[in-house]
Chains A and B, each alone.
Chain A
Amino acid sequence: MELIYFDHISGTPLHPHVKEAMIKYIKENGFGNPSSQHRLGDMAIETLNNARENVAKLINAKPEEIVFTSGGTESVNHAIKGVAFAKAKKGKHIITSNIEHQSVSRALRVLMRMGYEVTTLPVDSYGMIDPSDVKKAIKDDTILVTVMHANNEIGTIEPIDEIGKITRERGIVFHTDAVASCGNIPIDVNELNVDLLSLSANQFYGPPGVGALYIREKTPIFPLIDGGTQENNQRAGTQNMIGIVGLGKASELARIEMPERMEHLQNLKRYFLSKLNRIDDIVLNGHPEKSLPGLVSFSVEYVEGESMMIMLDEKGICVSTRSACASGSLRASHVLIAIGRDYATAQGTLLFSFGISNTMEQIDRAFVELEETIRFLRNISPLYKKKK
């Protein structure tokens, strides 16, 4: 049975060139500490610089503005807590949205316990935040605004550049969680007007466990991990060299291949949506245009998401669900509730995220199974019977 992987939002497979680069590094050096003064240290520094340059180029930043981290979650925590601690004397008010990833919302929850005040802004039915809401929420003691670039559950791309204009005018630090978008759509930190941006390698065909935080020059921020002087004093500890080699290569490839990748993903998405149109009582989630190219979130009325996901998995098709059951909590996805889905509908949500090696034929095959799965589960569902 051919495995069909439609869950790229949970993690992308390693690009063959990324894999090669990492293996090459392991063979040639692999252990040299970039903080060492001897030649192995120099070799590691060169590798580090090369990777840093590639990450910087991907988002139009300067290499010295890139800090390597253990991934998206660390980057986000560093950005939020680092600014909150550095600016604590100036103010304790932070603005965010109600559809953020847990790494943002839980980091903010900790800060709230420490006496910080957080304003959480709502989104519209597409999951879009209104920049004028940000403007209205700003107070004299606002120190940070953090809004995600693209939502990881529904794909909606937020008006980060407009929010950035507002924060820049008011001299407030602005962070965007670009984990779901970076490497998949063009990002220019200067056009977006952001001071901090979080990214993760395994969202664009790099390895898991490595990411970066972009820190604009002169941004007031404390390190999250204290110790040595690595990463421009922003992230202590010997760097994860092998992972960073992978991130660097993935960034280089993403930059070069981005236009064709996006076109391919958009074609797959369009094709999938045209097929999805044939099934009754499907609700699409997210913005119809301003959305990640390879991601489709849809709710299937009268059935529950986890049962669909397992049934597809049985047939070799890997997708994701935001069903409350699957996440181990009884709660439906906060993002789907935020965009106005009722609980039963939110429970029946599936997330298909395509990648560069997916094909139309795979969509054809998966779709037959999806239709069959929905028919099967609706036949069992008491809610479907009530509808009829």
Chain B
Amino acid sequence: MQYSDTVMEHFRSPKNVGRIENPDGIGEVGNPVCGDMMTITIKVKDDRIEDIKFETFGCGAAIAVSSMVTEMAKGKTLEEALKITNKSVAEQLGGLPKNKLHCSNLGADALHKAIMDYYAKKEGKAKEPKKFEKVDYIGEREGKCYCPYCDTELLTPAPFCKKCGKPLPSK
């Protein structure tokens, strides 16, 4: 297998699996169409991540990334946690195979989303997502996925297109 020992360790016995009940923040990223899905829930106390859990549908790398990012964020202040990047997660895992680097993008994205969700809730201005005409497919040709609205190639599974910002269908 092309995975590092650290990746395999986290895949075999992932840390912080599950979903926190009544979490202070939720971050959901990805969609199963193009690969993986990840949900991170956090409990915050005194601006510090007291508890963090994840659920992931995805390949071995995606599961290891989830486990690693929760380990890295646990006990950190929100400010510190926001500094965790996809790159630092991949580095902590001893690297990822080239074709799996997109999996590492999910980890920090989900964490950051959970923190932003916490801030939004705290400030009481949880934003309503903008309404768009809904589509239920992702464009696909020659092994690549494309945004159904603006036709930009989707390199990373994400709930939104990075170019036009419109929500992507989850199925």
* Residue positions of A touching B, CB distance < 8 A: 302-304, 306-307, 310-311, 313-314, 323-326, 328-331, 342-344, 347, 379-383, 385
Contacts and interface: CB of A to CB of B under 8 A. Distances in A.
A330 B171 CA distance: 14
Interface residues of B, number: 37
B59 to A, nearest CB: 4
A382 B144 contact: no
B60 interface: yes
B12 A314 contact: yes
A307 B65 CA distance: 13
Contacts of B109: none
Interface stretch (B32-40, B81-89, B116-124): B32-40
Given A306-B59, A344-B171, A379-B17, A325 B100 contact: yes
A383 B56 CA distance: 8
A318 to B, nearest CB: 11
A313 B57 contact: no
A382 B39 contact: yes
Residue of A303, A323, A383 with highest tally of chain B CB at under 10 A: A383
B95 interface: no
Given A325-B36, A331-B144, A381-B55, 20 more contacts: A303-B57, A306-B60, A307-B11, A310-B3, A324-B35, A325-B35, A325-B58, A325-B61, A326-B59, A330-B34, A330-B35, A330-B157, A331-B140, A344-B171, A347-B32, A380-B14, A380-B56, A380-B63, A382-B38, A382-B39
Contacts of A343: 32-34, 171
A344 B145 contact: no
A302 B1 contact: no
Interface string B9-27: 0011010010100000000
A381 B102 CA distance: 19
Interface of B: 1, 3, 8, 11-12, 14, 17, 19, 28, 32-39, 54-63, 99-100, 102-103, 140, 143-145, 157, 171
Contacts of A310: 1, 3, 11, 60
B145 A307 contact: no
A381 B57 contact: yes
Contacts of B56: 380-382
Given A307-B58, A310-B1, A344 B12 contact: no
Given A325-B35, A325-B100, A343-B32, A330 B145 contact: yes
B145 A382 contact: no
B32 A383 contact: yes
14 contacts: A304-B36, A304-B62, A307-B58, A307-B59, A310-B11, A325-B58, A330-B34, A330-B35, A330-B144, A344-B33, A347-B35, A379-B17, A380-B54, A380-B57
Nearest to A342: B171
A201 B143 CA distance: 29
Nearest to B28: A382
